[in-house]
Structure 1
């Protein structure tokens, strides 16, 4: 039989035709670990705000791989020596950078595992794949970790101007219809250069970088931290919290075997590393596991769980108030009183009244700076290169406090927990 054609061309709605350039990259895309990303939405529950936000981590990873190919091509065209192996490794690293995401992307990162960041799981799965592919991912892993001898590769993968951010801003703006997400990634990539193996942007690209930072700030408030998204995410987190509570009280709660493992146990990174059982279960999990449970739990005899699930299914969402200052105790007590009037027991208040805070910082030069190369050859920070006064403002961390609650809660006259 003829060998399969592994150099595929895909039609991407954001960039047009993109290519999977090597057999190894094709085999990684075909692997079940990566195919799972088809079943994990990029923006969690943002579709409750923007109906078009149905794209997946699979879309995003392929787009980031495409941009990485453009970036390495640009650097080569400017006379920098990059081997074919390095270019392929960089594309592998960015292709797999989100492979450790669980259901609903960032939404459940705080509660499905014990505050284990998805990048730690991505690295763990990359090591697992490296064994399966006989060590062919070793260079990509070094680039992902930042231990490779040429640091600009890690900057292309994970920095304040990386291929990850360039793709998700463009892609999320496209699918949500929020025009402010458009950043001109192609222009920025064409302006990339190297100085002492560090990534820089030519001075001609300063305006494009300014637009990138402004777009990131706007997308956070308009999409990623949209108040309705915060309500949806808060409800989902409380649903899982209640299901876990019931399980640990000995109640029967429906879930797939893989999902049940993480509901019953508090799984730390050490536990994850110590047993293949957790790796096998995690790589079976996706959004569909959670939605199937929510539909089933809406019929559960526990009124708290059933009410939360049915509210989310019907889009009867919590109400929300935002503030630049922490909320006074008087407001919270008033909201608690309102909820009690519906028949809600005191021990159940926390499921229907949630406090929190959201932060947004478009640019943090103390972490890793965006460097601009002047015509003189000198390298300076974008905040110093820009003539826009708001670039300095973008370095400030903006904090919003929120409280959301079930304003339209409808229960029987009995305690909701009975």
Structure 2
């Protein structure tokens, strides 16, 4: 079934710093971009608290979603068209799923989700299937079309090739966020030859494969992803900001449950605190709303909430030291907990272990948890070979998970313990030891 209106009478373009131009020729895409649910993504940062580390990282989920759409558009209109295994009737489904794949992200995304036990993918599907402007646009393609789009994003759609374009170990989502995040953070780690990768992509029955001649471009892509995670996404200063953000939300929830009388009542948080937020309430949340409360809560009478909000708003972040969860280190952590309490510093909010972990590339291993669809190379004789079987570089990192632990604390509070010199000295000895 064709979308009413079909193609736009004149192509629309968005000027983009990563892809130069984003081209919109289909009216359904133009209509989806104009919905209030999609426009909300302008008010959700792509990288959460990373702007407090890399000041250029102010770009939004809106930017990224357009970028993923553009990569998919180029793949299916320029590379796949006319090729075996590609069903061109799936074109609009792919484009819509690419555009809408991040629709359900909330403010400060992952930190927000952890505190309130939310899942942005569930909200993405709820927006697509619910009483929304997005749903009304999609239903013009047929009553079952929103369900198909939601299935692609949920990775349950019957055509696995369509799913792999948007969600796999070499998909349009990852390619855009690596290039975009590298651009806006001002680093070179995330750059790779996307043009080359797109040229050597080929459709197969269940997934995208890469011509053997493009292996080195894929190696570069995987190493770029590895470097971006450890140099940008898991940057310890960004994690410090996330720790404080998380503790603010925990403190506000705890105060609400205890009947504390807020000067600025957290009306937008009530359903979140009770963990029964409706779709309508969720869609009203964006980072402007959250930052408004943080700004106001600096003046609350609760000293912990007030202090944490001042820290976040004014970027007075926690310091950190390396931490390994060994028996010896855990004993030191218990000792620090006791010393913090003795000093009048609540360790629940001011002594935090944060861990980050990444698996740069893996392939499916029978009997192990999780499905990891490998990257396959298309050999000159038509055979498919899993990437790490051909690449020495990828083989060296396959299946190797790297984990980093940091212990975060307020250095200024410790420095101010002038009346408790023995406690201060002991705390410093443990942290510096």
Q: TM-score, normalised by structure 2?
A: 0.85
User: Partners in 1 of 2:265 and 2:382 — Cα distance?
Assistant: 59
Q: Which of 348, 361, 364 is the equivalent residue of 1:363? A: 361
Residues 299-345 of structure 1 deviation map (CA, whole Å, 9 limit, x = unaligned): 1000010011111222211111234554713432453355346533x
Helix, strand or coil for the counterpart of 2:248? helix
Per mean C-alpha deviation after superposition, the further-off stretch among 178-187 and 44-53 is 178-187
The Cα shift of 1:396 comes to 0.7
User: Partners in 1 of 2:252 and 2:44 — Cα distance?
Assistant: 21
Unaligned stretches of 5+ residues in structure 2:
1-6, 365-371, 420-433
User: Partners in 2 of 1:148 and 1:183 — Cα distance?
Assistant: 30
User: Partners in 1 of 2:85 and 2:11 — Cα distance?
Assistant: 24
The residue number in structure 1 matching 2:129 is 127
User: Partners in 1 of 2:254 and 2:156 — Cα distance?
Assistant: 42
Q: TM-score, normalised by structure 1?
A: 0.88
Is structure 2 residue 318 aligned with structure 1 residue 318? yes
Is structure 2 residue 152 aligned with structure 1 residue 140? no
Q: Which of 166, 177, 195 is the equivalent residue of 2:204? A: 195
The residue number in structure 1 matching 2:216 is 207
User: Is this contact kept in 2: 1:170–1:181, CA < 8 A?
Assistant: yes
Relative distance call for 1:161 and 1:255 in structure 2 (3 A) is farther
The residue number in structure 1 matching 2:400 is 396
User: Partners in 1 of 2:101 and 2:10 — Cα distance?
Assistant: 21
User: Is this contact kept in 1: 2:8–2:26, CA < 8 A?
Assistant: no
Per mean C-alpha deviation after superposition, the further-off stretch among 363-372 and 278-287 is 363-372
The Cα shift of 1:118 comes to 1.3
User: Partners in 1 of 2:349 and 2:17 — Cα distance?
Assistant: 40
- Once the two structures are superposed, the pairs formed by residues 103-114 of structure 1 within 5 Å of their partners are 103-112=107-116, 114=117
The Cα shift of 1:132 comes to 2.1
User: Is this contact kept in 2: 1:33–1:99, CA < 8 A?
Assistant: yes
- Once the two structures are superposed, the pairs formed by residues 171-186 of structure 1 within 5 Å of their partners are 171-186=180-195
User: Partners in 2 of 1:300 and 1:141 — Cα distance?
Assistant: 42
Q: Which of 363, 382, 389 is the equivalent residue of 2:387? A: 382
Helix, strand or coil for the counterpart of 1:45? helix
User: Partners in 2 of 1:24 and 1:258 — Cα distance?
Assistant: 32
User: Partners in 2 of 1:259 and 1:386 — Cα distance?
Assistant: 50
Relative distance call for 1:32 and 1:255 in structure 2 (3 A) is farther
Is structure 2 residue 344 aligned with structure 1 residue 343? yes
Per mean C-alpha deviation after superposition, the further-off stretch among 4-13 and 378-387 is 4-13
What's the Cα RMSD here?
2.4
The Cα shift of 1:164 comes to 0.4
Helix, strand or coil for the counterpart of 2:114? coil
Helix, strand or coil for the counterpart of 1:137? helix
The Cα shift of 1:21 comes to 2.4
Relative distance call for 1:255 and 1:17 in structure 2 (3 A) is farther
Relative distance call for 1:21 and 1:80 in structure 2 (3 A) is farther
> How many equivalent pairs are there?
396
Q: Which of 20, 27, 42 is the equivalent residue of 1:23? A: 27
The residue number in structure 1 matching 2:285 is 285
